[in-house]
Amino acid sequence: MNYPKADTFPQSVMRERSMGPNPLKLCEELLGLADIPAGSVVLDLGSGAGLTSALMARACGYVVYAADLWSDPSDNMRFFEECGLTNRQAVPLKADATALPFAHGFFDAVVSDDSYNYFGRDARYLCEHLLPLVRRGGELLFAIPGMARDRHDDLPACLLASWTPEQLDYMHDIGWWRANISQTEGVEIVDMCEMACTREAWADWLECDNEYAAGDRAAVEAGALTYLNTIAVRLRRR
Ligand SMILES: C[S@@+](CC[C@H](N)C(=O)[O-])C[C@H]1O[C@@H](n2cnc3c(N)ncnc32)[C@H](O)[C@@H]1O
């Protein structure tokens, strides 16, 4: 696949700021599923070190609120400035996804890369915390690390080479996520599909020089990507 937007970022920056499989490629493929116009106000939920926020603000012309729990918003702001972005284009904030400080209907869209499975596994999350913040007709796009088929009662040894059963419980298949999201009224499931860039995104991640990437190598080298995928979810608020 081609990634003209992701490719505007140097490899060194991608490697330094990734917190999982190449967020830039995942984000670019995810955005390609929808048609969110420039000027839209977008929540980057669980934005991590700001790569996806910078991509959306710089390459798509969105006004991006980069909300994350673990990352330092001051560090993200410096990164946005290095990307040539102002605080009117990308707004970094520390926020818990279950207590987001925004008015109802504030966002035109939500994008969440490699994060929704931290808080969205509780099926009440979407209707209680996130959906009200999106205007009617607004879109929600999630790239969720998942499983081709849930097999938590029979976990393949290759997955256990890097992760515990508790960590693997954050990963589910499309059917599981469909059942989770279907419990929320007022939202249309426009599309749910496996993402094409998963293997490439993982290969980029494993080249990163950090302890988390190093820890994930054993499983992938043992064949984990036979069982894992990335699930793209596109929703529209009714
Ligand atoms: C694997 S990282 C992905 C970060 C980024 N989206 C990326 O792709 O590089 C997961 C992110 O989810 C965020 N996260 C986890 N629980 C959260 C919560 N309750 N509220 C907000 N962010 C949360 C963490 O702060 C972390 O940055």
Model confidence over 57-111: pLDDT tens digits?
999 999 999 999 999 999 999 999 999 999 999 999 999 999 999 999 999 999 9
- Give the model's pLDDT for residue 48: 98
Integer Rg of the chain from CA: 17
What's the sign of the alpha-carbon dihedral 211, 19, 23, 198? positive
Q: Tell whether the model's pLDDT for residue 1 goes beyond 90.
A: no
Give the DSSP H/E element, type plus range, for residue 229.
strand 228-237
Model confidence over 193-226: pLDDT tens digits?
999 999 999 999 999 999 999 999 999 999 999 9
Model confidence over 138-169: pLDDT tens digits?
999 999 999 999 999 999 999 999 999 999 99
What's the sign of the alpha-carbon dihedral 8, 10, 11, 17? negative
Superfamily of domain 6-149+171-199+226-237: Vaccinia Virus protein VP39 (3.40.50.150)
Indicate the SS3 state at residue 176.
helix
| 52 CA distance to ligand 1 middle (Å) | 12
This model's pTM is above 0.95: yes
Give the strands of the sheet with 63-68, arranged side by side: 90-94, 63-68, 41-45, 107-113, 134-147, 228-237, 187-194
Model confidence over 9-61: pLDDT tens digits?
999 999 999 999 999 999 999 999 999 999 999 999 999 999 999 999 999 99
Of 70, 76, 94, 116, the residue with max ligand 1 atoms within 8 A of its CB, to mutate for a pocket test, comes to: 70
- For the chain, how many residues are written? 238
Distance CA 23, CA 96 (A): 20
Q: Residues lining ligand 1, judged by CB closer than 6 Å?
A: 18-20, 23, 46-48, 51-52, 68-71, 96-98, 113-115, 118-119
Distance CA 181, CA 175 (A): 10
CB-count exposure of residue 116 (10 Å: 0-12, 13-18, 19+):
buried
Domain ranges of the chain: 6-149+171-199+226-237
